[in-house]
Amino acid sequence: MARIIAIVNQKGGVGKTTTTINLAAALSLSGKRVLLLDMDPQGNASTGLAISRKLRGVSIYNVLVDGTELTEAVKETRVKNLHIVPSHIDLSAAELEIGDQGGRTTKLKAAIEPLRTRYDYILIDCPPALGLLTVNALAAANSALVPLQCEFYALEGLSQLLKTVEMAKSSINPGLVIEGVMLTMYDKRNRLSGQVAEDVRKHLGRAVFNTIIPRNVRIAEAPSFGQPVMMYDPDCVGSKAYMALAAELLSRHKRKAA
């Protein structure tokens, strides 16, 4: 049965989509069957895995709004064991279109259910907002993973995000937990990055992953080639960091299952 993780942060530019793509790829390369759901109307996760707009066809929009079976939207990627349900710009209107429908917060959960036995992990790339699309993701997920950039204002907005997670937990998904907070865009040459990392660990303790994702030009370049960074440059520090993150995540889950 797949473990479903929503990668979520209402702030843009924190490495959310980059993390979703590369964590999904790293888990796949570790032998896990992975499905990535692109829930961001910008569709950057789809582009980053070489699913061009003309090839997307049926998307997550059709699943949420038209009731299309999720299996009809699943596409293969260049990464073995990694599939994706792409996004489309029409998704930006989905919140209005399903806003007055019954079960509007659990449409994604219902759509995912038939596929849970086919995958080990389902990762959801949420939009940079705490609207109905993100609430659907939190309703469907077992846990929420929060990327947090090592920059000034890093903790700004985190309290609101955690409140949203708690709201989803209390009202629509009692089993939802915080998977953890992961630090991104760390620059060891920058004293501020070290200070932010220290502050985040002081406030959040064990919730913070040990693995830190560094600023790395290879991570930034990879999406333009439609590849996760470990396919673009497997030996770069960014690739090694995301493989380490996947290993840490798998280790956490193995301990919890023991």
Q: What pLDDT is attached to residue 188?
A: 84
The 10s digit of each residue's pLDDT in 221-253 is 999 999 999 999 999 999 999 999 999 999 999
| Structural contact between residues 10 and 144, judged by C-beta atoms closer than 8 angstroms | no
Domain boundaries, the chain: 3-257
36 Cβ neighbours under 8 A, 6+ residues apart: 20, 21, 24, 45, 49, 82, 83, 84, 85, 122, 123, 124, 125
Domain 3-257 belongs to what architecture?
3-Layer(aba) Sandwich (3.40)
The 10s digit of each residue's pLDDT in 173-231 is 999 999 999 999 998 888 888 888 888 898 888 899 999 999 999 999 999 999 999 99
DSSP percent split of the chain into helix, strand, coil, nearest 5: 50, 15, 35
Q: What pLDDT is attached to residue 48?
A: 96
How many whole angstroms separate alpha carbon 49 and alpha carbon 23? 13
Q: What pLDDT is attached to residue 34?
A: 98
How many whole angstroms separate alpha carbon 164 and alpha carbon 136? 12
Strand partners, 83: 35, 76
